[in-house]
Structure 1
């Protein structure tokens, strides 16, 4: 019989710091795009071009998390904190699951967290983790280790 898989659930502290990194990163990109649009609007004489960027934060974060977490299970913030979103078995999730999981933190974070803390405190889940059947886990060192059957040759060794 196979030994059960051990999965370490990520702490709320690590999850918060990953979220903060993501929000700052996406905010900086949107701010930069807003500045470019602002310069463009001054040249064309229309100042209304910059106003849509103020309302795009939630949409940009939703798209950012859905794409990155659906592709590899990690956003930039999660990479920094060595955590990842997985299904309940610890496997990678797909884009549809990532979209459900991301919706709560992009658009309803206070409610998402509050319900999660009250209803799923023991499990460490947000509401939308529960709805999407996902968990946030510490990245296993074996997962990021080099494969045994691959030899890397670096430019300095040629």
Structure 2
């Protein structure tokens, strides 16, 4: 009988941090642009307040962003760039509910999420909300990302 075990390489904290940083910069820029546009429209409509409807919604924006992308494909833009992905504990894709649980901690409770993770799950490389959602963050093979494992592609340039 063949050994069917898979080897999963847990992503480093450095790669995870850089992916997170890319994501918050991207989402922050988008929300800032939307907030500026809303602020301009508010002033044009006679609003006296300098605040926008998007003030304080960064956490919600990040939560929705991570939940949608990681629930759909296991990767946010930052994770794609860093070649890492969120999976279940067996390395399989997660669903939107699992992605929402996993994303809640990093969107709203990041200091607590990481601190508990470092203290309680340091060896496993988990945040608290990874543990609660039964997810892990793994390294991906760039060449295999998005391709079936049992298919070999031959490109025109290979002929």
TM-score, L = length of structure 2 = 0.89
Q: How many residues align?
A: 154
Corresponding residue SS for 2:52: helix
Tell me which residue corresponds to 2:88. Answer: 87
Corresponding residue SS for 1:24: helix
- In structure 1, C-alpha distance between the alignment counterparts of 2:31 and 2:11, rounded to whole Å: 28
The answer to whether residue 11 in structure 2 is matched with residue 2 in structure 1 is no
Tell me which residue corresponds to 2:14. Answer: 13
> 1:30-69 residue pairs with structure 2 within 5 A?
30-48=31-49, 50-69=51-70
Tell me which residue corresponds to 1:73. Answer: 74
Q: Is the 8 A contact 1:68 1:74 kept in 2?
A: yes
Q: Is the 8 A contact 1:38 1:47 kept in 2?
A: no
Q: Is the 8 A contact 1:84 1:137 kept in 2?
A: yes
Give the drift of 1:38. Answer: 1.2
The answer to whether residue 120 in structure 2 is matched with residue 119 in structure 1 is yes
The structure in which a higher percent of residues are helix is 1
- In structure 2, C-alpha distance between the alignment counterparts of 1:19 and 1:111, rounded to whole Å: 16
- In structure 1, C-alpha distance between the alignment counterparts of 2:146 and 2:28, rounded to whole Å: 32
In structure 2, runs of 5+ residues without a counterpart are none
- In structure 2, C-alpha distance between the alignment counterparts of 1:141 and 1:37, rounded to whole Å: 39
Give the drift of 1:143. Answer: 3.1
Give the drift of 1:124. Answer: 0.1
- In structure 2, C-alpha distance between the alignment counterparts of 1:142 and 1:26, rounded to whole Å: 27
**Cα 1:56/1:121, change in 2 over 3 Å:** same
Q: RMSD over aligned Cα, in angstroms? A: 2.0
In structure 1, runs of 5+ residues without a counterpart are none
Q: Is the 8 A contact 2:38 2:53 kept in 1?
A: no
- In structure 2, C-alpha distance between the alignment counterparts of 1:75 and 1:145, rounded to whole Å: 14
Give the drift of 1:2. Answer: 3.3
**Cα 1:146/1:62, change in 2 over 3 Å:** closer
